[in-house]
Structure 1
Amino acid sequence: MKTITRKSLDNSIKDGAAYSAMLGLTQDYVTPFALALKASVPQIGILSALPNLSVAFSQLFAPFLSERAQSRKSFVFKAVLLQAVCFLPAFIMPVLFRDFGVWWLILWYTLGTMFGSLGNPAWSSLMADLVPGSIRGRFFGYRGMIAGIMTLAFSLASGLLLQISTDTLFLGFGLIFFGASLARFISSFFLNKMEDPQAKAPVKDGVSMKALVMDLNKTPMGKFISYSALINFSTYIAAPFFAVYMLRELGFDYLTYIIVISSASVANFVFMKVWGRVCDICGNVKILKLCSIFVPVVPLLWIFSHNIYYLIGVQALSGIIWAGFLLSGTNYIFESSNRRNRMRGFALYTGGNSLGIALGALTGGFLVSILPQLNGYHMLSLFLVSVIARAIVVSLFINGIKEMKLKENPIPQAFISAYKLDLLALKIKIISQSIFQLPRIFRQPLRSGIVIRIFQLIIRF
């Protein structure tokens, strides 16, 4: 591998780490911030839907803007800077104007999400040129593992911060949003250090967005984009409302909330590298189909109990499933596209997913007010609707996704080694033991040693 490419991939990992720190600070705390601002359930649905609608809209012209920029890297860099700036008014304006605080939050969070997504097609095209196909699964698996560690660490830090700043809650949220902005600025620094192989001789997409849309049901990439969009629609009927269910209906405090949420992140980063290796050996479609079978199971399990230990296990299972689904899905887009249609292909993939997420969130926000209670909660009825919708999508569409390249003897190569089986079993044992230690660790009185214990827990993986 060329030295320049290796340095660019190293900087990509650092960029991903900083970006994931931003995600850890925000993705599980925007909804709690809205609830602290007295948001209603329909407003929570809009908070999830509107940013994703803006992403879907932005992907229509993102490739056009990228092709007219100086380079893909420069375009992504500018988009990331704009996103970093938006986190500051997303906190300041709602606090200054409390009467319309939720709407100010929705506005600035939507703008930040849209700016961040503008660079996605160009970034995906850039990474496709930088990462050799033979190591794509392993590279993105390793990058995803590092990203997962950072997401978990900063998510835990945010939960601790909110727990100790209960009397000054908005100060805690302010520090979280400031940290997210700083992390995104750091991300832009490492992005700017990457090389762009097309900077001197850019290759424009030879296929129009209209042509890709018209061929959605004819090409392997198009069929997967449709499937992914429908999966996201059925998933986000329920996804935005898990936080509402835990914080408002079950009455969890912030520490209990983050313990449950973080178990998915732990499982995600532990298994991301495993999934990357298996994808390279077995093929992406086999992993995609395997994970798809379990996608409807996760919200179903929420119906049976709200015991914290039980929910930790459910979220850990969710992290394992979605790690494999997202990694194999992204790799499949790389495989099923080429240099001349890749940027628009990723734009359509991002836009389709975002449109599905937005429509799912709006549908969930509407249904939750008219569904009957299940086991005493309206939210559980909504989760059941999501289960049914996911199962229908998987059963109707998953068999239409075909492998782009055949893998030879996947089972002997992947699983014949007893050593590898033992290693995987050991990882499963460690993650199970560590996740179930989290409630006991966090329930202890807060002291300086707890931070050390948390990071010792992370390092074990």
Structure 2
Amino acid sequence: MKTFAADPKVNKSLRFSIFDGAAYNAMLGFTQDFITPFALALKASTGQIGLLASLPNLALAISQLGSPFVSERLKTRKMFILPVVLVQAFLWLPILLLPQIFDGAGVWWLIVLFTAGSVFGALGNPAWGSMMADLVPAGMRGRYFGTRNKIGGMALLGGFLVGGLVLELSGQQVMIGFSVLLGGAMLFRLASAYFLTRMYEPPSHRCPDKFNPFKELKKLPVSGGGRLSLYVAAMMMATHIAAPFFTVYMLKDLGFSYGAFVIVTASATIFNFLFMGFWGRLADKHGQLKVVRMTSYIIPLVPVLWLGGHSLPYLIAIQAVSGIAWSGFNLASTNLLYESASPERRTRVIALFNALSGLAICAGALLGGLLATRLPEIAGYSFLTLFLLSGLLRGSVVITLLPRIISAGHNRMLIEEHKGSLTAVARPVIAWVISLLMSAGNWIALILQKRMVKFQSPQPEQKRLIEPYPPWPL
């Protein structure tokens, strides 16, 4: 394995962190994209799906504001990280037992328990991020986290593929398949906790003043880290208006089997980890900010492309584009956040970043749940209208808020902006391209709306599947 630091103790800890990330991502592979199918198997409604996607993020966001209060009062950050990780691991057990314990209220208990698990899983993130930023040398962050995320992505994909295979083989006994996935998730999170115990924690930097979330929120518009947090939060809201409903669209409207659903969803994961190393090297060479900019211009196009068709090869291609863009965006925005904050304030900055993103995801998912069944149809599907709306909102966020991050000169981000002359040359060209592509998206939508009339007459349901949603794989 690669050497990431000169200090053997630090290097060993960074290796254990990679194992921790692999185990954590294996847990996500078993659960992240199967919670919505599990809820659908429990007969969840579209509104309940929206709550399942939104409430965990709302609770997570609120809890993040309290995380620095606890972590900064303990002797070490690991004293806070390890207990919350263990609680999240054991919360998978009651979720596993839901089909056996509850009959009609299983979905509501799923929302409650999954929300609690999400909160405990994220409570330690600010302290963990602060510890990792102290461990990883600044000039290696892109490559290290690129490697860590790549290996984690492989574990995520492996867990996801195994999970899809388990559900496909479960046949009519799909609840047994879900039990296997949720039990495996608990074991992998316990393994993640073990690797965390083996990591060395460098001495933490303490802020002299007490944490005041309201005071910190007032500083957001005038700091580089604050502007980045606001930009990412706005992007998350625009994204999650549609994000929870791609699964519903594939399983319910298109009638995909679990196997087809796994293939489409896994495509994004594959390209995500394949390009993680590329984005990491590019970020270390040219700056994290440039990678954020490049990927930001791709992200608005992804949901709009879903309007172009629903064949399996076409959706796989879209997911490939999505995986490439989001891998660079998530990697670079996180590292840029680490660079924008001084070590003693890093826990607080990460907490606020997570809180804003969680609130935005919650608001987006709730809004999407309200709009999903009320929007006019495009080509016979109202979800396509929701995807178009998400793309337009993402584009507006990029156009209006991204320049504010670029022009932020209050801290270290100014250094990122002036590394090389590529930005000055590419900026007007990229802005013109994104404007052109957004216009093309509107043009395509208008054409599809005109075609909708033809689909609605004389047999409006002709394009629908005879079985709109097979409850179990065929």
**TM-score bin, normalised by smaller chain:** 0.7 to 0.9
Amino acid at match of 2:113: W
The answer to whether 1:84 aligns with 2:94 is no
Contact 1:205 1:344 in 2 (8 A): no
Aligned equivalent of 1:333: 337
Q: CA deviation at 1:56?
A: 0.4
Secondary structure of 2:65's aligned partner: coil
Aligned equivalent of 1:405: 415
Matches within 5 A, 1:391-402: 391-402=395-406
Q: CA deviation at 1:202?
A: 5.6
Structure 1 pair 205–323 and aligned structure 2 pair: CA distance change class (3 A): farther
Unaligned runs of 5+ in 2: 1-5, 407-412, 423-474
Matched residues in 2 for 1:95 and 1:56: separation? 31
Unaligned runs of 5+ in 1: 412-461
Matches within 5 A, 1:357-368: 357-368=361-372
Secondary structure of 1:184's aligned partner: helix
Q: CA deviation at 1:388?
A: 1.3
Which runs of at least 4 in structure 1 moved beyond 3 Å after TM superposition?
Answer: 204-208, 406-411
Which of 174, 178, 181 in structure 2 is aligned with 1:176?
181
Contact 2:306 2:318 in 1 (8 A): yes
Contact 2:51 2:365 in 1 (8 A): yes
Q: Matched residue pairs, number?
A: 410
| CA RMSD, Structure 1 to Structure 2 (Å) | 1.4
Matched residues in 2 for 1:31 and 1:404: separation? 42
Amino acid at match of 1:242: F
Aligned equivalent of 1:313: 317
Aligned equivalent of 1:16: 21
Contact 2:99 2:175 in 1 (8 A): no
Normalising by the residue count of structure 2, what TM-score does the alignment of the two structures yield? Answer: 0.85
Contact 2:82 2:197 in 1 (8 A): yes
Which of 275, 299, 306 in structure 2 is aligned with 1:302?
306
Structure 1 pair 21–252 and aligned structure 2 pair: CA distance change class (3 A): same
Aligned equivalent of 1:274: 278
Matched residues in 1 for 2:366 and 2:127: separation? 29
Secondary structure of 2:380's aligned partner: coil
Q: CA deviation at 1:405?
A: 2.3
The answer to whether 1:253 aligns with 2:263 is no
CA offsets per residue over residues 15-44 of structure 1, 9 Å max, x none? 000000001000000000000001000000
Aligned equivalent of 2:117: 112
Normalising by the residue count of structure 1, what TM-score does the alignment of the two structures yield? Answer: 0.87
The answer to whether 1:61 aligns with 2:66 is yes
Q: CA deviation at 1:70?
A: 3.3
Contact 1:73 1:194 in 2 (8 A): no
Aligned equivalent of 2:386: 382
Contact 1:205 1:339 in 2 (8 A): no
Contact 2:92 2:186 in 1 (8 A): yes
Aligned equivalent of 1:369: 373
Aligned equivalent of 1:427: none
Q: CA deviation at 1:389?
A: 0.9
Structure 1 pair 284–85 and aligned structure 2 pair: CA distance change class (3 A): same
Contact 1:162 1:172 in 2 (8 A): yes
CA offsets per residue over residues 159-185 of structure 1, 9 Å max, x none? 000000012110000000000000000
Q: CA deviation at 1:401?
A: 1.1
CA offsets per residue over residues 390-409 of structure 1, 9 Å max, x none? 11111100011134424654
Contact 1:91 1:105 in 2 (8 A): no
Q: CA deviation at 1:96?
A: 1.5
Provide the identity percentage.
45
Matched residues in 1 for 2:52 and 2:414: separation? 37
Matched residues in 2 for 1:239 and 1:300: separation? 12
CA offsets per residue over residues 253-278 of structure 1, 9 Å max, x none? 00000000000000000000110000
Matches within 5 A, 1:183-202: 183-198=188-203
Amino acid at match of 1:32: P
Matched residues in 1 for 2:396 and 2:226: separation? 19
The answer to whether 1:145 aligns with 2:155 is no
